[in-house]
Amino acid sequence: MDKLRPRPPRQFVKGSKSIKKALPIGSRLRRQCPECGNDLVLRMSKSYGLFYGCLRYPNCSGTHSAHQNTGQPMGIPAKTFVKKKRMLAHKAFDTLLSSKKNMLKKDAYEWLANKLDIKPEKCHFALFDEQMCDLAIAIIKQEVSFQ
């Protein structure tokens, strides 16, 4: 079992991360409602700011989070139980981070990506399905308990 250890700092190379343009309220995500598969519409709520709500609201309460500055969708929409799993996986990840004082968050994501056999840029809990969350939680728990 290879141990998680801090890595020396590396030269940070600026990637070609494209800047996404801001979306107007009313923009639609086609067939993305996590609950019913209908379109999601970008809306503004006084308490939560920008978010995506199902076109069929109030008949469907499917929602998805949006980046507050651009209105772009945050990760991949998921049903409520997957969202809960993502939160659990994130919690496990935070436990890992707090147990590895010398480890940078970026490196921890890279370590996890390596364990999950996925690309580091795909290693975000907002992109995970239920199975991936379960796997990530199991891997992290094992690592934390082996210290």
Contact residues toward Zn ion (CB under 5 A) are 33, 35-36, 38, 54, 56, 60, 62
* Burial (CB count within 10 angstroms: exposed 0-12, middle 13-18, buried 19+), residue 79: middle
Specify the DSSP class assigned to residue 9.
-
Q: Which is nearer to Zn ion, 54 or 92 (CB)?
A: 54
Q: Which is nearer to Zn ion, 6 or 26 (CB)?
A: 26
In this structure, are residues 119 and 25 in contact, taking their beta carbons and an 8 Å threshold? no
Rounded to the nearest whole angstrom, what is the least distance from the CB of residue 37 to Zn ion in the complex?
7
* Burial (CB count within 10 angstroms: exposed 0-12, middle 13-18, buried 19+), residue 122: exposed
Q: Which is nearer to Zn ion, 33 or 41 (CB)?
A: 33
**Parallel, antiparallel, or unpaired: how do β-strands 63-65 and 49-54 relate?**
antiparallel
Q: Which is nearer to Zn ion, 48 or 122 (CB)?
A: 48
Rounded to the nearest whole angstrom, what is the least distance from the CB of residue 55 to Zn ion in the complex?
7
Rounded to the nearest whole angstrom, what is the least distance from the CB of residue 77 to Zn ion in the complex?
10
Rounded to the nearest whole angstrom, what is the least distance from the CB of residue 74 to Zn ion in the complex?
17
